[in-house]
Amino acid sequence: MELIFPTIAGILSGVVAGLIPGIGITALMISVGLFFVADSPLVVLAYYIGLLCASQYVGSMLAISFGLPGESSSLPAVKEGYPLFQQGKGSLAIGTTAISSFFGSFISMALFFAILPVAEYLVYIWNTNMLVIIFSVAMLLTFYISDNKLWVSLIMTAIGVNLGMVGINMTIGTDYLTFDQWWLYSGLPMIPVLMGCFVLPELWKAQFEERAETKEIKFQLDIKDNLKHSRASWGVITVHSVVGFFCGLVPALTTKLASNLSYFLQKSKEVRYNNYTGPGNLKSLIAAETSNNAATFSVLLPLLFLGIPITTSEFILYDHIQDTTTGLNLEYILNNFDILLACFVATNVICLALAWPMANTCLAVYRLPARTMYLVTAFLVLFPIIYTGLLEEQLLFYVGTFILCSVIGMIFRRYDTMPIVFVFLISREFIEGFHRFYVINVL
């Protein structure tokens, strides 16, 4: 019962994250997520599950209806769904996407139980050699899947590493760019860096560069037709649930890799069989969205079972969980796994209702006055910086870091700045991993 409120709050936050580009789950996890740090990690986990699932369901609606990717994983939905909407098939695209996403989540869950007998071997992901390989592959994939040219991504990587390595690193014994100032010993605070380097440029892009023409959105519910098309794509849903499940385990890339890889694979197949006649291919859209939602389940597994956060928002979730009195441990997760599964199932049922029969209601949010939307957005960006700065008694440091990172973010506003924040977040782990690799294998 205690999880009903955080789950619903998570779903509502996810609706906001899905409907307002730039206010992604990372920003909401930083701000609203703070209020769900309680004695039990289940509370903040329930909030996160609601947030994660709802943002994926609702983000698809936004991408299909407005041609606006709420999340980077919604790019295929923009490429194939928005043309369907323009062809007058928006209701079909939204309906079948919601249904396939729903089944994708459940197939992913079933797949987890299928591999449970060998799950103990997942501990070998902790092996330093394995971690070095995973992080290296993730870095390379980030370069290739990001929308940037390679040289831009390399510059961003250098910036991310330098921001991430500020402070004293006790594990490898370095003291980097602290200028003997104690407030820099613990490194740059995460929230101002993420807000400045990532959220701000994304908002800028959404408001000034990629804003689609606003139009009246009307969704016609046709259950029979939507189910018929979903049934016809059963094979696509099954295959891409599997693809999504495994992509969800890839650190940092997760849903972004899942939707884009599935889209690429399905589109190649459609082209090969002469079924692809141009943008607006329903099966390619279904593949991407199914995969995306399948990944939302598997993405949680490394964190829950191995204590390894693999996305930006999970780093924050991990931080929040560590702030609870119980902390994150395997025994606790195993004892409460049935509750978490129930939470995941309930969330998906509610999200299906929101993204399908209630799609019209969700999209009505866009009838809010633009001025109110700006105020809400500004509040969601500034509040976590000021709140955490005050909490840490380092407001000036937090604001200063935000200003510095905002400058960096705005310089790169025309690019995908995800590599900066991704590298910032993993640079310590990455360099510590390489250092351990060197000590173990070379020294």
- In angstroms, what is the minimal distance from the CB of 428 to another protein? 8
- In angstroms, what is the minimal distance from the CB of 429 to another protein? 8
Task: Collect all residues with Cβ–Cβ distance below 8 Å to 90 and sequence separation of at least 6.
Answer: 64, 65, 84, 217, 219
Q: Which helix (H) or strand (E) holds 174?
A: strand 174-176
Q: Which is nearer to another protein, 13 or 241 (CB)?
A: 13
- With 0-12 / 13-18 / 19 or more C-beta atoms within 10 angstroms meaning exposed / middle / buried, residue 37 is middle
- In angstroms, what is the minimal distance from the CB of 177 to another protein? 14
Q: For tokens 């330098």, what's the residue?
A: 162
- In angstroms, what is the minimal distance from the CB of 439 to another protein? 5
Report how far residue 164's alpha carbon sits from residue 312's, in angstroms, rounded to the nearest whole number: 13
> CA torsion 314→340→247→350, rounded to 10°?
-100
Binding residues (CB under 8 A) for another protein: these are 35-36, 38, 123-128, 130, 168, 170-175, 182-183, 185-186, 306-307, 322-323, 325, 327, 331, 392-393, 432, 435-436, 439-440, 443
Q: Which is nearer to another protein, 127 or 136 (CB)?
A: 127
- In angstroms, what is the minimal distance from the CB of 443 to another protein? 6
- In angstroms, what is the minimal distance from the CB of 343 to another protein? 19
Q: Which is nearer to another protein, 177 or 232 (CB)?
A: 177
Closest CA to 141 of 377, 391, 310: 310
Long-range contacts of range 335-340, CB-CB < 8 Å, 24 or more positions apart? 336/42, 337/304, 339/3, 339/42, 340/42, 340/45, 340/46, 340/49, 340/304
- In angstroms, what is the minimal distance from the CB of 440 to another protein? 6
Q: Are 252 and 422 in contact (CB under 8 A)?
A: yes
Q: Which is nearer to another protein, 213 or 393 (CB)?
A: 393
Local structure of 176: helix, strand or coil: strand
Q: Which is nearer to another protein, 46 or 77 (CB)?
A: 46
Report how far residue 368's alpha carbon sits from residue 350's, in angstroms, rounded to the nearest whole number: 23
Q: Which is nearer to another protein, 374 or 438 (CB)?
A: 438
Q: Which is nearer to another protein, 122 or 373 (CB)?
A: 122
Report how far residue 221's alpha carbon sits from residue 260's, in angstroms, rounded to the nearest whole number: 28
